[in-house]
């Protein structure tokens, strides 16, 4: 059974100073605080890249952090995270991820983690720099990571525009609570195709009238789902329409030949303008 729907989301101390070139895109600088290893993960898997997909959640792990001043076997780290664009404008800042941890931590070995969500106000086809600053709240030690990265659109999407444009498209899975970038889903998993920042659709009386069709077929060409218009007669304000349009899709109780192809077309009912997305999914049993 296949379903689809639309949703309109003071002691004296000796400090060691070092500069560690992790990669061409990452530089780690320490002054008293040292991390044995720094690595990135996405969806729980280690990655070694600095190109991230829109909507992807990246975790930065500082393993076995040492050098923090101990007070009754507890340490008190602080960590700030900042993202700047290519013009060095700050687009995101959290001054202390561990602000609420007032009683300190006594984990050994100590691992600290920062989370980077590559979403608005970040956008695809742009370069950014991540700055993470760790400091000792009971001492003077610091550790800094600088990482350049790019935000890109899922390369498995094929997008065709006719006098219209879109800022972002991605697939979201509530089950995984994350964006689906490998295009693999399990049988029965509900996913959402999310469209943000659509422009080029005409206004009449301050409203937009749009249609959205969904067609799904397997690798043999067998039609699994076909819906001519998920939106129907609904009208949108320009702000609502450009904010986010979402179509959901779930497969259950079916065995299909992989990959399946999903085609979504959003068209302007007041003109001939439209956006077409074609993507492939692998259904895991």
Q: Give residue-wise pLDDT tens across range 225-264.
A: 999 999 999 999 999 999 999 999 898 877 789 999 999 9
Query: What are the start-end ranges of the E strands in 101-141?
Result: 112-117, 126-136
The candidate with the shortest Cα–Cα distance to 158, out of 280, 278, 281, is 278
The candidate with the shortest Cα–Cα distance to 132, out of 154, 148, 119, is 148
> CA-to-CA distance for 201 and 245, rounded, in angstroms?
13
Find out whether 81 and 114 touch, Cβ atoms under 8 Å: yes
pLDDT of residue 9: 35
3-state secondary structure of 242: helix
pLDDT of residue 23: 55
Find out whether 257 and 219 touch, Cβ atoms under 8 Å: yes
Q: Give residue-wise pLDDT tens across range 89-101.
A: 999 999 999 999 9
Opening angle at CA 119, ends 88 and 237, nearest 5: 110
> CA-to-CA distance for 235 and 241, rounded, in angstroms?
9
pLDDT band at 47 (very low <50, low <70, confident <90, very high): very high
Going along the chain from its start, the domains and CATH numbers come out as 12-152 (2.70.50.60), 154-284 (2.70.50.60)
Least confident of 17-31, 124-138, 180-194: 17-31
More confident residue, 58 or 20: 58
Find all residues with CB under 8 Å of 275, minimum gap 6, and list them: 159, 160, 161, 162, 164, 165, 166, 195, 198, 265, 266, 267
pLDDT above 70: percentage of residues in the chain = 92
Give mean pLDDT, residues 182-194. Answer: 94
pTM of the predicted structure, to 2 decimals: 0.82
Find out whether 28 and 254 touch, Cβ atoms under 8 Å: no
Please determine, for residue 142, whether its predicted confidence score (pLDDT) is greater than 50: yes
């Amino acid at each position: 059974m296949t379903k689809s729907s639309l949703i309109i989301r003071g002691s004296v101390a000796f400090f060691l100073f070092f500069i560690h070139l992790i990669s061409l895109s990452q530089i780690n600088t320490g002054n008293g605080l040292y991390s044995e290893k720094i690595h990135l993960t996405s969806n729980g898997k280690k990655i070694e890249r600095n190109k991230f997909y829109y909507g992807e959640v990246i975790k930065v792990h500082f393993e076995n952090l040492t050098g923090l001043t101990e007070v009754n076997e507890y340490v008190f780290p602080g960590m700030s995270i900042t993202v700047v664009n290519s013009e060095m404008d700050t687009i995101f800042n959290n001054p202390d991820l561990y602000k609420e941890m007032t009683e300190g931590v006594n984990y050994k070995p100590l691992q600290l983690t920062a989370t980077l969500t590559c979403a608005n106000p970040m956008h695809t086809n742009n370069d950014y720099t991540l700055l993470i600053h760790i400091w000792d709240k009971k001492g003077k030690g610091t550790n800094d990571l600088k990482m350049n990265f790019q935000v890109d659109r899922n390369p498995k999407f094929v997008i065709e525009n006719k006098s219209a444009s879109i800022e972002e498209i991605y697939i979201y899975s509530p089950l995984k609570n994350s964006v689906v970038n490998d295009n693999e889903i399990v049988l029965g998993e509900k996913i959402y195709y999310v469209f943000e920042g659509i422009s080029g659709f005409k206004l009449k009386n301050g409203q937009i009238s749009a249609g959205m069709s969904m067609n799904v077929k397997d690798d043999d060409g067998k039609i699994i789902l076909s819906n001519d218009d998920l939106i129907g007669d609904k009208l949108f304000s320009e702000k609502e329409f450009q904010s986010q349009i979402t179509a959901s899709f779930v497969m259950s109780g079916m065995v299909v030949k992989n990959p399946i192809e999903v085609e979504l077309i959003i068209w302007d009912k007041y003109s001939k303008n439209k956006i077409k997305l074609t993507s492939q999914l692998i259904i895991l049993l």
